[in-house]
């Protein structure tokens, strides 16, 4: 998993509330267990017509938001089913951070496990960030995980909270497998000892 330290990037404004996981990645794309390749189908039914043409007024089909790395979203982002394909699709598109007033619990947890930082902010702060995101490509937002701040293009800075353990994992690029591998020496020692004590196993 890639480390998340400080992100400077374009933020896409998505003021819709209750953006659910089926909107993020529709059910017909859940057949794969590969984490890559889902970005092209992110928000598929909102981005494309039934014959595959782009819907021009959808934010991620517009410049400069095609290269967005941050989403500023409406309330209750990631609600619906628990599909982990939703953060996979976001990450494969290039999204590393989503900011909203609230998230569905399972989606929120899945984001951290996949290298995406979900940030909960008060409505008045989200409103400021949403307006800044609407400025387009010249408005680069800065998300500093170590300092736990989000800064707008004109220098306004807002603090956010994050669980210390989850912060540690993101800063060091540790998913569940990475956390286990941190204990590799202890695991090897235990297995060697067990082999000596119980050679018949």
Give me 159's structure tokens. 């603090």
Q: How confident is the model at residue 18 (pLDDT cuts 50, 70, 90)?
A: very high
pLDDT for position 163: 97
Pairing between strand 117-120 and 140-144? Answer: unpaired
Of the pLDDT bands very low, low, confident and very high (cuts 50, 70, 90), residue 188 is: low
| Residue listed under structure tokens 């628990």 | 82
Within 8 A by CB and 6+ apart from 70, the residues are 7, 9, 10, 11, 12, 95, 96, 97, 98, 99, 133, 141, 143
Give the chain's domains with CATH numbers: 6-197 (3.20.19.10)
Q: Is the model's pLDDT at 124 over the cut of 90?
A: yes
Residue from 8, 2, 1, 4 nearest 142 by CA: 8
Structure confidence at residue 138 (pLDDT): 80
Q: Supply the pLDDT for residue 31.
A: 85
Provide the CA 16 distance to its chain's centre, in angstroms.
17
**Cβ atoms of 171 and 3 closer than 8 Å:** yes
Burial code (b: 16+ CB inside 10 Å, e: under 16) for 166-182 equals: bbebbeeebeeeeeeee
pLDDT > 70? residue 46: yes
Question: Quick one: which of 116, 137, 4, 166 has its CA closest to 63?
Answer: 137
pLDDT of the residue at 47: 97
10 pLDDT tier (thresholds 50, 70, 90): very high
The residue among 66 and 181 whose pLDDT is bigger is: 66
């Amino acid at each position: 998993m890639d480390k998340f330290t400080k992100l400077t990037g374009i933020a896409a404004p998505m003021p819709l509330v209750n953006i659910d996981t089926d909107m993020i990645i529709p059910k017909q794309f859940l057949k794969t267990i590969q984490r890559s390749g889902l970005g092209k189908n992110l928000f598929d039914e909102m981005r494309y017509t039934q014959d595959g043409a782009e819907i021009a007024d959808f934010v991620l089909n517009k410049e400069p938001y095609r290269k967005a790395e941050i989403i500023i979203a409406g309330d209750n982002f990631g609600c619906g089913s628990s599909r982990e394909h939703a953060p996979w699709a976001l990450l494969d598109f290039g999204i590393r951070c989503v900011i909203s007033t609230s998230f569905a619990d399972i989606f929120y947890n899945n984001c951290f496990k996949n290298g995406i930082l979900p940030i909960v902010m008060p409505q008045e702060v989200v409103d400021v960030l949403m307006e800044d995101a609407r400025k387009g490509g010249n408005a680069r937002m800065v998300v500093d995980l170590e300092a736990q701040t989000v800064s707008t293009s004109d220098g306004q800075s807002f603090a956010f909270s994050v669980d210390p353990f989850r912060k540690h994992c993101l800063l060091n690029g540790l998913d569940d497998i990475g956390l286990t591998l941190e204990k590799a020496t202890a695991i090897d020692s235990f297995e060697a000892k067990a082999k000596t004590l119980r050679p018949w196993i």
